[in-house]
Amino acid sequence: MRTQVQVVYPDVVSLGGDPERALQMLHTVEEVLAERGLAMPWSLAINLARCFTLLRLGRPEEVVRISAAEIARLDGWNMGVVSMTATSAMGHRMCGRAEQALEILGPALRICRAGGPFTSSLFCFAEAAHSAALLGDVDSARSFTAEAGQHAPDAWGSARFWLDIAHPWISAAAGDIDAAVRQCRENADRIRDLGAVAFELIGLHDIVRLGRPDTPRRRLTELASTTSGQCASLYARHAQALADADGTALTAVADDFAELHMWLYSAEAATQGALAFKAAGAAVRSRVASAQAAERLRHCPGVRTPALAGLVTPELTSRERQIAELAAGGLSNQLIAERLGLSRRTVENHPYTTYTKLGVSTRSDLAGILGPDRSTNRRANAPNRWNSRPGFGLWLGRRRSWRPGGWRKGPVRGIGRCM
């Protein structure tokens, strides 16, 4: 009993608004259990708590890596693997990879449907609903929420919060932004009464993402002063920048979200920045912000949210993009020509068109749009223990991929080797 309290208590601390302290506590508990020879039996519980804490700190890629390692250790489908699959899906969704989140949830959802009522089932169905909503598939999102009630009717505590925060995005996907904002406010008010600061932050920031920053900005500023970690202050800055229609501040927020690999949040903030610049008559800066948003949105295939509705993306031809990416990476015209098998004159003629489309004038400006995201995307798509493990990305023994409307046969996007 004492060990169970030691493992669970850090999650309570994290939920209450101090995820940095919670992470330190988990490390200490892990060391104590290792000394007592109990580290392995408690590994699942500790890593679940660690993943939830890292999500609250805005470190979703770490959540994906930890989940993959724990799934590999457990080696087989059980409710522990189902729970870690749900946290992995949360990490992918927080990065903007809603398609991949749904892809990896497929086998877990099948187990949830076949099993009894478990809290893990609620995590899985809530994440599936949230991701489907971000992809604009309202029917599937509503179906997943109905299944959550059917397969996990007695789930309690913070587990239900994950379903609560999915509902506004289903309303938004259906085109009812007013209902989505109202649901976010109701969630934040109810959660605030329960002292769950971590979820209150999400509910308030979702209102900002939906384009209504005035109501939550004061409370977000209060929480930023008392909550540890970068996310709270970043959410507060986002609210203030949007309320002020400050394009410079919004693009700075977008850059900070990009540093955390929260690509969807980054694309949304950059789009809002582009619109703010446009309203202020700064056409060139608006095009640059739009190009940055478009590049970051490349990490989020299929995702659509209200904030992205105003995104005007400059279209580059495949050749223009090839040359632009190599130029952003620091290659000279001669090296680009040699690599692509083109004449140097052809390479020299491309930048002017590209600069005009993107609203930039130098290679350093180009690198600011294409450089960092491009290199990070290579790392994200590289094979690893998660995306190369046999069997993942499979459902019912057949290769399937998620598209609005449900699971369909075809190549699995973003999963890597599946057989």
Question: By C-alpha distance, which of 219, 225, 227, 217 is closest to 249?
Answer: 217
**CA–CA dist 230, 257 (Å, integer):** 10
Q: Which of 160, 111, 97 is nearest to 415 (CA)?
A: 97
Query: What is the C-alpha separation between 269 and 39, in angstroms, rounded?
Result: 41
Q: What is the pLDDT of residues 99-122, one digit of tens each?
A: 999 999 999 999 988 876 677 888
On whether the 245-382 domain is CATH 1.10.10.10, my answer is yes
Smallest CA-to-CA distance from 242 within 290, 284, 276, 278 is with 276
pLDDT in tens, 207-258: 999 999 999 999 999 999 999 999 999 999 999 999 999 999 999 999 999 9
Q: Which residues in 93-145 belong to E strands, given as ranges?
A: none
Which one-letter DSSP state was computed for residue 313? P
Query: From CA 160, how far away is CA 148, in angstroms rounded?
Result: 10
pLDDT in tens, the chain (419 residues): 566 767 788 989 999 999 999 999 999 998 888 888 876 678 889 999 999 999 999 999 999 999 999 999 887 878 889 999 999 999 999 999 999 999 999 999 999 888 766 778 889 999 999 999 999 999 999 999 999 888 766 665 677 899 999 999 999 999 999 999 999 999 999 999 989 999 999 999 999 999 999 999 999 999 999 999 999 999 999 999 999 999 999 999 999 999 999 999 999 999 999 999 999 999 888 988 998 898 899 999 999 999 998 887 666 777 877 887 788 778 888 888 888 888 888 888 777 677 766 666 677 766 666 654 443 333 333 333 333 333 333 222 333 444 445 545 444 333 332 32
DSSP helix/strand/coil, 228: coil
Structure tokens at 272: 């809002």
Q: Is there a contact between 148 and 170 (Cβ–Cβ < 8 Å)?
A: no
In the chain, the largest separation of any two C-alpha atoms, in whole Å, equals 74
Taking the model in full, what pTM does it have? 0.78
**Per-domain residue ranges of the chain:** 245-382
What letter does residue 213 receive in the DSSP assignment? -
Tens of pLDDT, residue by residue over 182-207, are 999 999 999 999 899 999 999 999 99
